[in-house]
A and B are shown apart, each in its own frame.
Chain A
Amino acid sequence: MIFNSITFLIFLVFVVFVFWQLNSRYKTFFLVLSSCVFYGFWRWDFIPLIFISAISDYYISKGIFKSEDIRTKKILLFISITLNLSLLFYFKYLYFFLENSNLLFEFLNLDLNFKLFYIILPFGISFYTFETISYTVDVYRGMLKPEKKFIDYALFVTFFPKLVAGPIQRANELIPQFKNWRKFELSFFSYGLKRILYGLFLKVVFADNIGSIVDEMYLINYDFASAIDVLTMSFLFGFQIYFDFSAYSHIALGSALLFGIKIPENFNFPYIATSLKDFWKRWHISLSAWIRDYLYLPLSGVKVSNSSAQVGIGKVLSDSKKKRSNIPLFVTWAIMGLWHGSNWTFLFWGLFHAFFIFLERLFKPLRNRFRILNFKFLNWGITLIICMLSWIPFRVNSIEETFLLYSKLFDFKNFFNLSFRENSYIITLLILLIFICSYYFKLLVVPRLKNNYVIFLIYTFFKYLLLIFFIIIFLKPVNQFIYFQF
């Protein structure tokens, strides 16, 4: 089910209403059922796949917990991870693998050719696979006891607000809330509604409207693009993907709150970041935290003693006393890139980030020596440009196109040649300004408004009016969320 649709809004009202009428004993079961309906509205036939992943990990985790033998624990963990990754590989990477194998055979003049066939990517598979893996690994690490009741675990995997595009949850954060359902609290309800409004507004007013301009931009013949075009293309797509994905997270958080469930934040004004490390503490926080705990730290040889989806990759990296090697950094980011999609462009995107994080580490001593390098505005500008330029491989179709567009950045002679209508540049600049202003508005103005009760009431009223009016006008489920494809 798509969040920005009338179907979802009606579904949500119905489910919330019934949920609060039910006795605590039935709430979990009802939400599992509702989550299946939510998913089934896209494809009913892929629901069993979620349960294959969930049931296998549920029983394997029990086995890991019960076993005294470390070797058996390891074998069970291996089986669980292999099963999950096999499903992910089949649906997400098999086509890519076969296609590239054929290219390799051709290159090597081998008379081999895999038959290619189209595979539908089940929505949310990358998200729920990571959740079930984290559950098994946490049990293996002794940080979590396996769930006794399957229904609680099933809801952890299927809980519909975060099912298809995250935030990626940890069992120790979500399941305890299912076991002790909160009593109805108006504050949760009103805050949840507010977050849903924010999300719908960002999606239908910003992301979808920007999307049509972005689509047109990426249709041009890239040979004609100038540096200013490439920057505009990357910035505008960067804003589209941010509005789109953060909108989803707002609605997910808001919907969960309507059931009294708290889900950790997934975004925190990422384009305000003053370093890439900072950026990854603000962008898709639940994914970077997952990657940190289950990939980067183990690869770096650091023992993980705690697990939380609430802090991004940066914190633990800086806290870790162990000397960091750069190999895990590049391996982690390569996997992070491929998690987003089965294309070399995503791999390149991951390595692009790894490279600049590596540079940040390399030049860290210089920052201590030269004060100008700590100038926030300068760091913000550089980080923003690097982050935005990293979206180019995310949007184009091939590595060749990526390099072609990047090469245009160094064509200083034609730097300001315009390939789009003037509106595209104006809109990009305007959105950047809106983004910065909204950050400072939230940071500086809103706290002051709160000091004056009447003014704050008026502000809140008109904010709601504006949000609701624009949502009604622009609501339509035409454009799916970009992160659904991951």
Chain B
Amino acid sequence: MSSKLKIIFFLICLIISILIIRYLNVDKDFSNLALGEETTTVYAKDVQDRSIHVSSIDSLNKQTILHVWNSNGNKDVSLVLGNSQTHTINQIKTNDVNYLEILDKRMTDRQIIGNTYPNASLQDFLIAYFYWKNILPVKDVFIPLFFDDMRELNGINYDFYPLLVKENFKFNSDNELLNKLNLNFKLKSEKVDSSKTEKKSTQDLTEEFFNSFLNKHWELVWGKRKDIQSLIYSQLYLFRNYIFNITPSSIRKKIPERYFNNMSALDLIINDAVSNKINLFLYIPPIRNDVKIPYDLDDYNKFKEEIKFKSNNYNAHIHFVDFSNIVPAKFFGFKSSTSLNSNNKELDFMHFQFSGHQILGDSLLNFYNSKKNK
């Protein structure tokens, strides 16, 4: 093959690649890929249609929450933490709301504030708990304890807490996990600060210039690269599921280190709640129960026992209930296939329809009232 032909190939391939990027249709929302198309993200609002539910702690969300709390007369706060089960509704219909909004309408003596994250870990709940508790009069905290969440990230998902990074958030306590989280925040804050103040190299400056120039003048190609990266990752995710036959029903085993750190985070929340007389409502959240659940049953039962044991160890402020079976299977949805070459719908074990939110909202309210009256 001649060198001339190779160079011609090179140029043609360069042009074709640019054309593919230019005309490739990537209008899909990849952030919800794991949720599936039938599950919709919904954040709770109060009766005056103001946001009381956030998915990250940033300046704007903080201001919004404080504004709502001020406008409603500075009531004591019930903080609701959670993951995508809280902020999504399967097969959503008009006027459907999540259980957080249901609680807000019925717990009129309290200001409900929700803070939920997709794939949240207990360490995320720990950070959110300490943050809101320090700036609002939090009296009750609702925490769903998912076995899935015990497998989640070690350390900090900085996307959830841009404000905390900016403010160089720090836990005022000496504990191995808290020290580790403090260190992570410190390092990240320093990195952000130094990127602002550090003298930039000529390469940094030219690279910034070229990137902004290309984004501005060649947006349909250069600006689309991130979307196409997401498309590639999502196809790899589907491909992995196809090759290894991974479905939402596949068994998820306990990951020892993550489990340990997340349990330590729960211990820290419990200890703090006890010493500050904050009512902690811990519950095992609903899971689809008409088929074999996607956990190692032994691990799952031990997990539930461990939580129960932790709750019983403490005084009147720590409450625990197992809601795993309260939502009938018919209210759980399906999700579109998470594998290549399959149009079959798959069971969704976590996300339910509006009726599920109603049941969970009612149950939490009863749980709250029963403990409050004691």
Taking Cβ atoms with an 8 Å cutoff, the residues of A that contact B are: 1-2, 5-7, 10, 40-44, 185-187, 189-191, 193-194, 197, 216, 219-221, 223-225, 417-421, 423, 426, 453, 456-457, 460-461, 464-465, 467-469, 472-474, 477
Contacts and interface: CB of A to CB of B under 8 A. Distances in A.
B207 A419 contact: no
Q: Which of B20, B151, B207 has the most CB of A within 10 A?
A: B207
B247 interface: no
Contacts of B297: none
Interface stretch (B31-39, B59-67, B120-128, B253-261): B253-261
Given A426-B244, A469-B20, A460 B203 contact: no
Contacts of A43: 201
Interface residues of B, number: 41
Nearest to A7: B206
Contacts of B5: 457
Interface of B: 1, 3-7, 9-10, 12-14, 16-18, 20-21, 151, 154-155, 201-203, 206-207, 210-211, 214, 221, 225, 228-229, 232, 240, 244, 253, 255-258, 260-261
Given A2-B203, A193-B6, A221-B257, 7 more contacts: A6-B207, A10-B210, A42-B201, A42-B203, A191-B3, A194-B6, A468-B14
Q: Which of B9, B203, B211 has the most CB of A within 10 A?
A: B203
Contacts of B228: 473
A472 B3 contact: no
In the A-B complex, the 6 residue pairs with the closest CB atoms: A224-B257, A186-B3, A190-B3, A190-B6, A464-B13, A469-B17
A40 B206 CA distance: 13
Nearest to A43: B201
A7 B207 contact: yes
Contacts of A417: 256
A456 B1 contact: yes
Contacts of B202: 40-42, 44
Nearest to B18: A472
Contact of A41 (B21, B203, B257): B203
Contacts of B18: 472
Nearest to B153: A216
A41 B255 contact: no
Contacts of B203: 1-2, 5, 7, 41-42, 477
A220 B5 CA distance: 50
Contacts of B258: 419
Contacts of A6: 207, 210-211, 214
Contact of B6 (A221, A423, A460): A460
Contacts of A41: 201-203, 206
Q: Which of B21, B202, B221 has the most CB of A within 10 A?
A: B202
Contact of A189 (B3, B16, B207): B3
A219 B206 contact: no
Contacts of A185: 3
Given A7-B206, A426-B240, A473-B228, A193 B10 contact: yes
Contacts of B3: 185-187, 189-191
B199 to A, nearest CB: 10
24 contacts: A7-B210, A41-B201, A41-B203, A42-B202, A44-B202, A189-B3, A189-B7, A190-B7, A197-B10, A219-B155, A220-B154, A221-B154, A224-B256, A224-B257, A224-B260, A418-B253, A421-B151, A457-B5, A461-B9, A468-B17, A473-B21, A473-B232, A474-B225, A474-B229
